[in-house]
Amino acid sequence: MSATGQDTPRRLISADKVEGTTVYNRAGEHLGTIETLMIDKVSGRVAFAVMAFGGFLGIGESQHPLPWSVLTYDTGLGGYVVDLTQDQLKGAPSYAPAEDMDLSDTQGRRVYDYYKAEPFWLDNP
């Protein structure tokens, strides 16, 4: 099975298959790759996909938490698509890979506000 799960008709995918998947913008430009998923321990819902952006060989790279709800999987591209330009991404909430960002409170709200997405804790499953 590929890292994107393209060769399977199943709707569900394991988190380790999502990690490493490419993220594109609507113009088809490569923005980064999914590093990890942040899952709410209480509801079990995916809250964020943390995307690695920029840098070269890990140097100068930043981590961008994206609300899971703003990503759409595109089977043609074999990756996730987000309605965001590279310039908008540069102004988005981010942190250095070595930082331990707590996305469960104020920082998480800031991310949802930036992307104008309804927070997962308000979303009806």
The predicted structure's pLDDT at residue 59: 62
d(CA 37, CA 5): 16
The predicted structure's pLDDT at residue 90: 83
**Which of 98-107's residues contact partners 24+ apart within 8 Å by CB, and which partners?**
99/63, 101/63, 101/65, 103/38, 103/47, 103/48, 103/65
Residues near 63 by beta carbon (within 8 Å), at least 6 away in sequence: 35, 50, 51, 52, 53, 94, 95, 96, 97, 99, 101
The predicted structure's pLDDT at residue 4: 46
- DSSP letter for each residue of 41-101: TTT--EEEEEEEES-BTTBT-EEEEEEGGG-EEETTTTEEEES--HHHHHTS--B-TTS--
The predicted structure's pLDDT at residue 11: 74
For the chain, what are the domain ranges? Answer: 21-114
Query: In CATH, which superfamily holds the domain spanning 21-114?
Result: PRC-barrel domain (2.30.30.240)
CB atoms within 10 A of CB 75: 9
The predicted structure's pLDDT at residue 12: 76
Q: What is the mean pLDDT of residues 51-78?
A: 84
Q: Two tokens at 97?
A: 């890979």
Q: What is the pLDDT of residues 42-52, one digit of tens each?
A: 888 899 999 98
First to last CA, the chain: 28
Q: What is the mean pLDDT of residues 32-42?
A: 91
Q: What is the pLDDT of residues 73-124, one digit of tens each?
A: 999 999 999 998 888 888 898 888 777 777 877 888 999 999 999 887 776 5
The predicted structure's pLDDT at residue 33: 93
pTM score, whole prediction = 0.80
State the pLDDT confidence band at 31, using cuts at 50, 70 and 90: very high
The predicted structure's pLDDT at residue 69: 93
